Amino acid sequence: MTQSNHFDSIADVFNRIWYFSDAYKEFVTTHILEDLSLGSEDILADIGGGTGSFTSRLGYEASLLKAYCIEPSSAMCEEASKLENITPVCSDAHTFVTSNTPFTKMLFKEVIHHLPERGAFWKLLHPILPQGGKMLIITRPKNIAFPFFASAKEVFARHQPSQELIETELKEGGFEIITHLRSHTFTLAKEDWYTMLRHRFMSDLGVFSDEEIEAGIEEIESIYTEETIDIIDNLIFITATKK
Ligand SMILES: C[S@@+](CC[C@H](N)C(=O)[O-])C[C@H]1O[C@@H](n2cnc3c(N)ncnc32)[C@H](O)[C@@H]1O
């Protein structure tokens, strides 16, 4: 079962408007491979895998037995189905977990804030994961460092669960957790950053009208006077293991 969401409207441009430099992809992929101890025996379930670009890269780099890209937006899932080494599953996290599909590792990259009733979800998942199975949650702090306009920062903070809350829910679900805070900075021409904002590259930007986005860009323009802008991406990596 697929659902329509914000990502249907940006699926065709998603890989282009999210600035994934080679250095960024390398940074994220290296940590995912290490944190999940991914290897050729593993079946990976990439929850909210989007267009599948990271699922596919992980599939190749770890020679995974199988890599599922679980994605409820039909337009995003269609993009993922163009990649040869992954299996797209056009459903939400809950439907996948209750489908009796075996897997050993699970990835939630920039998706945790979309999951409803997380506490119940972890409790459902714990008996299904094999002993030693791992999940990795990659998310951002409530106070995002991105050069957003003030109201975008507020909307982001409102929708984003705190690190402490996610950790507590996972522990209550029976998992042992390890958290790493990691940061990656990249520099963009300001026009490229504004293009990302105009495309509402993050779902939290979807609530703003064209006029509000343009006013927000003017606000950023008044603060950042150089031609380029530093994008500081502070990321939280939480590994949860079933002992
Ligand atoms: C910001 S994108 C991240 C895509 C990908 N993980 C990446 O990092 O490139 C978030 C994705 O989560 C998906 N999503 C939203 N609700 C979901 C749910 N309940 N279960 C699984 N995925 C969901 C969205 O459709 C979207 O593609």
Considering only residues 45 and 75, tell me which one the structure prediction assigns the higher pLDDT: 45
Predicted confidence at residue 3, as pLDDT, reads 52
Whole-number Å distance, alpha carbon 30 to ligand 1 midpoint, is 20
- The Cα–Cα gap between 24 and 216 comes to 26
Locus of tokens 């599909």: 101
49 Cβ closer than 6 Å to some ligand 1 atom: yes
Query: pTM value?
Result: 0.93
The Cα 123–Cα 49 span in angstroms is: 22
Segment 93-104 mean pLDDT: 96
Rounded to an integer, the average pLDDT of 109-138 is 96
Q: Let me know: does 236 contact 181? Beta carbons within 8 Å.
A: yes
The one-character DSSP state at 100 is: T
Please give the DSSP secondary-structure letter assigned to residue 161.
Answer: P
Q: What is the pLDDT of residues 100-118, one digit of tens each?
A: 999 999 999 999 999 999 9
172-182 residue pLDDT tens: 999 999 999 99
Q: Are 228 and 185 in contact (CB under 8 A)?
A: no
One-letter amino acid identity for 151? S
Structure tokens at 125: 């998942």
- Categorize the per-residue pLDDT at 1 as very low, low, confident or very high, splitting at 50, 70 and 90: very low
pLDDT at 95: 96
Question: Domains in the chain and their CATH numbers?
Answer: 6-183+233-241 (3.40.50.150)
Q: Give per-residue pLDDT as tens, 65-89.
A: 999 999 999 999 999 999 999 999 9
Q: What is the pLDDT of residue 13?
A: 65
Q: Which residue in 193, 188, 201 sits closest to 217, CA to CA?
A: 193
Burial (0-12, 13-18, 19+ Cβ within 10 Å), 210: exposed
Mean pLDDT, rounded, of the chain: 93
pLDDT > 80? residue 9: no
Q: With pLDDT > 70 as the criterion, what percentage of the chain qualifies?
A: 93
CB 156 less than 6 A from any atom of ligand 1 = no
- For ligand 1, atom 22, which residue shows the shortest CA distance? 48
Residue from 114, 117, 144 to probe ligand 1 pocket by mutation (most atoms less than 8 Å from CB): 114
Q: Which residues pair with 179 in a beta bridge?
A: 238
